[in-house]
Each structure stands twice: as C-alpha cells, then as structure tokens.
Structure 1
Amino acid sequence: MQTKVAIIGGSGLYDIEGLQNPKWVDVDSPWGAPSDAILTGELGGVDVAFLPRHGRGHMHSPSTVPYRANIDALKRLGCTDVISVSACGSFREDMAPGDFVIVSDFIDRTFAREKSFFGTGCVAHVSVAHPVCARLGDAVELAARAAGVTIHRGGTYLAMEGPQFSSLAESKLYREVWGCDVIGMTNMPEAKLAREAELCYASVAMITDYDSWHPDHGSVDISDINSTLGANSKAAKSMVVDIAARLGQTHEACPRGCDRALDFAIMTAPEARDPALLAKLDAVAGRVL
C-alpha cells in the first residue's frame, strides 16, 4: 500500500510549507462537513494531506470541531497515517513551554462530542489500550530532533472539554492525583475515531504554558500562549516536512495492528445491521463490511 500521511494541524498550524503540487480539495463526508478543505500535495515524494483542525481563521472551538467528518474525509482520501499536532499545557516542570511531547496515552474528560462512528444498527468495540502508533512515534521523534526541537517521548494527555482553561483545583487533580503530563482539548475523540477508521495515529503536543498549577504562573495567559504558538508552529512545519520522508512511500502492515482494529470489533449480526448506517461506514469500515 502506498503511504499517504495526514497532518491534522492545531492552534497556530493552519498550512504546510514546501508542498509540491499543492491543491485544496473539498471532501464530502456522510458525517457532515470537515473543518475545512484539505490541502493535498507531496513532500519528498510522499503523498500528504493537511487538515487545519479549527479551520483556516480558527473557526471551530474544541467542542465544535467535526471530528467524525475529519477522520472520515482523511480515510476517503486514502490516508494511511495521521499525525496530530496540537497546543497543550504542561503539568511537569521539565516539560517547558516550547517543548514538544510525543503523547503515549490519554485520559478522556470530554463530554459534549460524538465519539464513535458506530452505534444503533452496527455496534463495534475497538481497543484503545494503546491509542497511538509506536512506529509513527519513532518517525516523529527523529524528525523533531532533526528540526532542533526539545522533544519528550511519552506522556499522558488529559483531554478536557473546554473552551475554558482549568481551574486551579482541576489542574492540581490532574497533575498530583492522576499523574497526567500535559493537558489539551482536541485529541479526544480524534484518537478513538482514528482507531475505528484503522488509521495509524500519533500525537505531537506542543507546550504553550504550565496550566494553572505552577506557582510562578498562576493562570493561563492567552497573550503568552500566542507568543509561544508562533515559535512552535515554525518548528512544527519543519518537523512535518521531515516526517513524511522518514515514513517512506510504501506503507507496511502496522506491527501494532492499528490497520486491523476492526477485525473482530463488530458485534451486530449481519442480518440486524442498519443499511443506512452501513452506507455511512463505507470508508471507515468498508474493509470488514
């Protein structure tokens, strides 16, 4: 299978520089309109699709991002791998603003979002015990180091609903009791949906602040965040260019089985499945349906 790398850009990352044959394309999805048109092209001979998560101009809040439409649209374009890039706060002194974290796990505290492609008429359960792809993480780590980024491999990402930032009590709970490393608003249900769509997924969290737990910061200042975002986005663009080349043109079977997540996931008997829902699942689950 030919590699096609999807880059989902978060706050501060609304385009990709250096693409050969760039073209913005509209993708129709039965799950609604994606966040924006998708920028397609090539980097180092590898097909790339870039989707600004919040839309150009930052039109979507974390709660209104059309996560299902985004993942479905990328799958329809033939993407095999998804690199998520997003802004986050840090719960650790050694993970400082300007650093990047390759996320290894999530705690999902979102509550106002549709979190699955499946439901009444076609029930499925996929494993997200290991929600990110280690193979993609390796490529991201090498690319980040080559771009001169201070990178941390591994960390638990607390996904909050937002759009408000954490209270001090919440920040202390997530840091001191739950042992989380970073906090953000957009990687869930994105990672879960990518797994349902059998896409390898890796998350790069770009640290902009220390959340509200830090005694020398006290609260999250949006002006400071915007300043750090600018520097982070430049580093992210450099990193993304290198990731595609490291993955190469040929997509091998995922050693973790990300691309076979639906093998035994669907529980509903064939005769009981809802034809309307099956039609919507043609891209996401067509391999097993």
Structure 2
Amino acid sequence: MSHWKLGIVGGSGLYDLPGLENVRKQAVETPWGAPSGELTQGTLNGVELVFLPRHGPGHVIPPNEINFRANIAALKMAGCTDILSVSACGSLKQELPPGRFVVVDQYIDRTKSRVNSFFETGCVAHVSMADPVCARLAGLAAEASEAAGAPVTRGGTYLAMEGPQFSSRAESALYRSWGCDVIGMTNMPEARLAREAELPYAAIAMVTDYDSWHETEAAVDVPAVLQVMAQNSHLARKTIARLAEIVSDRERTSSPQGIETGLDTAIITPSASRDPHVVKRLKAIAGRIL
C-alpha cells in the first residue's frame, strides 16, 4: 500500500491539531529561507501529518509577506506526498454564506508582488496550471468536510487578491461579474509552487463574510471575520481528523493529473545550459528529475 504523508497548511484561526500523536517540532531552513514557522509532525488516526501555520504562530505574517517558496519547499523536504490548504475567504455569491466550506477547483490570480516560481534565470520550466488542484485530493477533502458536519460546496473559483487590505466595492463587483465564487489572499502563489514541486494540492476555503459587494450585509471587517472563524476552525480541525481517518485504509494512488511527474515535460532549459547554482537550489523540490 502506497504511503500517505499529508502536509496541512493552516491559515487564519487554525494553529494546532488536537489529537496529533508522537508530536515533534522541527525548525527547517530551505534554499529559499525559513518557512512561516516550525513544522509540527505527528500521527493522526494512523496517518503521518506535517502541519505548517501559514501566517506563523500568533498570526504575525501578513499574506503579502509570506515566504511561499520556503513553505512549500519545507513540506516537500519533509517528505509530504500531498498538501491540503485550509484558509479563510470572502464569498462573492449569495448562495455561499458565512460558514460555508468551498473545495476550490479553479483560480484567478490577481496577486502582483509575490515571487511565484521556484524556477528562474539559469533553469526555466513551464508547468501546466490548467487544472490547478488535484481532483483526487479535492474529492477526499470534500468527503472529509461533509463527514465532519460542514456545509460543503464542491468546486468553485477562488480569486486570489494581493491584500492585506480588503476589496473596494468596485473590485468586489468586478470579481462577481467574472463569475468568481470566493476571494482570498493566500492560495496564490501557493498552488503554483506546489505544482512545481510535484505535490498534489487541494484547498478548503472557509467563508467568513460577503466581502464588500453585498447590499444588505455590512462590509467585511476583522471582528466579523473572527466571529465566524471560530466556528469554521472547529469544523476545520474535525475535517482534518476525518481526512486522516478516510485515507488511513486507502491506497494512495497517483494524482489523475500526473502531478507527481509534472516536471518531466516542463523544464525547457537543456542540461548543458543550466546554471549549476540554480540547479543546486532546485534539487530541494525537483530532485527527482534533476
């Protein structure tokens, strides 16, 4: 039976996982610097988990200053086979009220100041992002959320904004006109980097508010977000426990999108032209092919 090792990237309000056994904390340094915090490794319902607080312990790192490359590299270096992102988001649709869990399947990336690739001058690669999440892992995440008692929507487009400010009303209306479902500040470039690291990635976006488009609801602010987040975080912890329980007796099969071998056809720079210093760094996330 193929081995699971789940990386959990916890966002706002999710800083620990009750029930984790054989807990050990590990400070990690990657070729791209230190991740947001120590990795917490342990076993939950018989499955190995690695937990990373996206904003650092105590929520001290704003979304536009997260070292996404270090976070994904740290999980790859820890031996994770898959990554589940759990984060707060705003809703852009009436039918997705606060408290709803949306298992994302598409992204529109409106971030602008973040380094969004491990690859650089000296070694160029172009991975496919046509289907940006792992369909297998997303299905399991939805199943686990439902089993935990959360109201779940399977599939949805996540608009990734730069932040840290919330949207203007005009921006919120624009994103609604594009057909987006939820809006958040953290899933990009996280999903892009996971794909480059050949790690299947799925995301649960937990709705806390209606952003700023809603005519009868107050515009989003931190107190309102925190109030909903407490309940969402409780269900998120139950979801992760149920996910571990679900996969504990299931064979881990490869992603239907072939994510684990995605770099086979992505690296365009010939071996003889690659910068050895860049390649040395990249081996932390692409050692299989380099």
| Same-fold call, TM cutoff 0.5 | yes
Contact 1:80 1:251 (C-alpha < 8 Å) held by counterparts: no
Aligned to 1:141: 142
Contact 2:101 2:206 (C-alpha < 8 Å) held by counterparts: yes
Please give the alpha-carbon distance, in whole angstroms, between the structure 1 residues aligned to 2:235 and 2:281.
Answer: 37
1:236-275 matches, cutoff 5 A = 236-248=236-248, 250-275=251-276
Q: SS in structure 2 opposite 1:49?
A: strand
Structure 1, unpaired ranges of 5+: none
Q: SS in structure 2 opposite 1:282?
A: helix
Aligned-pair distance for 1:217?
A: 1.8
Aligned-pair distance for 1:144?
A: 0.7
Aligned-pair distance for 1:61?
A: 0.4
1:30-109 matches, cutoff 5 A = 30-109=31-110
Please give the alpha-carbon distance, in whole angstroms, between the structure 2 residues aligned to 1:254 and 1:87.
Answer: 26
Counterpart residue identity of residue 228, structure 1: V
Contact 2:31 2:284 (C-alpha < 8 Å) held by counterparts: no
Structure 2, unpaired ranges of 5+: none
Aligned-pair distance for 1:100?
A: 0.4
CA RMSD of aligned residues (A): 1.0
1:196 aligns with 2:191: no
Counterpart residue identity of residue 180, structure 1: C
Aligned-pair distance for 1:137?
A: 1.1
TM-score norm. by structure 2 comes to: 0.97
Q: SS in structure 2 opposite 1:284?
A: helix
Aligned to 2:4: 3
Contact 2:135 2:255 (C-alpha < 8 Å) held by counterparts: no
Q: SS in structure 2 opposite 1:59?
A: coil
Aligned residues: 288
Contact 2:104 2:205 (C-alpha < 8 Å) held by counterparts: yes
Aligned-pair distance for 1:242?
A: 1.0
Q: SS in structure 2 opposite 1:138?
A: helix
Aligned-pair distance for 1:218?
A: 4.1
Please give the alpha-carbon distance, in whole angstroms, between the structure 2 residues aligned to 1:251 and 1:26.
Answer: 28
Counterpart residue identity of residue 100, structure 1: F
- Spell out, residue by residue over 1:161-186, the C-alpha distance to the aligned partner (whole angstroms, 9 max, x if none): 0000000000000002x110000000
State the percentage of identical aligned residues.
Answer: 55
Aligned-pair distance for 1:196?
A: 0.2
Aligned to 1:205: 205
Aligned to 1:132: 133
Contact 1:90 1:183 (C-alpha < 8 Å) held by counterparts: yes
Please give the alpha-carbon distance, in whole angstroms, between the structure 2 residues aligned to 1:73 and 1:103.
Answer: 23
Counterpart residue identity of residue 28, structure 2: V
